[in-house]
Amino acid sequence: MMPNHSIDGYAIVSDNHCIADADGNMPECLKNDADWAYFQAALDAATLTVVGRKGHEANPNHKNRRRLILSRSLAALEQRPDGWWWNPAGQDWANVLQQVAPEGGAIAVPGGRDVFDLFLQPGYTSFHLARAEGAQVPGGTKLFSGLEDKTPEDLLAGHGLQPDPTRWLDQENRISMTIWRRPV
């Protein structure tokens, strides 16, 4: 029997649905202590964290969490001193889970965009969508591909997730949180 895994996405976005600036870096307008604490607690509780190569390089793994780094520069799956490295074109997700997280548990997906896109299929169990209300990131990187005429909320709903009520993570700084969940 296959262990039970959840796939849980985590992102903070601007009003124009961006997670990064034009250079791929997180802009100051998206940095918030309450959101960061929420996010770090989720990563601490996760069995595995899945990030892109750029995110891995920008955020060293000081807590030595089990990390899976997506990269097109290898054939399939490889364990290195700094984590597991995976090319999705070279090995399917089910086989990766058997090797990297055989005990099951929460898989935290903090992005970037290619990583967020990848996990729309097989599908998120939940997606924790924080919004920096009033923030704009001109020319930035959108949370998901294909958001030209849609919102992240439209895309999540279109993939079968339903929103919990929105709440404030930091009302003073206008950081809201909506958790989108797959119905059971």
Domain ranges in the chain?
A: 5-165
pLDDT tens-place string over residues 118-172: 999 879 999 999 999 999 999 999 999 988 899 999 999 999 999 999 999 999 9
Give the model's pLDDT for residue 2. 54
pLDDT tens-place string over residues 6-20: 999 999 999 999 999
pLDDT of 81 higher than 60: yes
CATH topology of domain 5-165: Dihydrofolate Reductase, subunit A (3.40.430)
pLDDT of 3 higher than 80: no
Give the model's pLDDT for residue 148. 86
Give the model's pLDDT for residue 82. 92
Mean pLDDT of 88-107: 95
What does pTM read for this prediction?
A: 0.95
pLDDT tens-place string over residues 17-33: 999 999 999 999 999 99
169 vs 2, more confident: 169
Query: What is the rounded average pLDDT for all residues in the chain?
Result: 95
- Cβ(85)–Cβ(77) under 8 Å? yes
pLDDT tens-place string over residues 32-53: 999 999 999 999 999 999 999 8
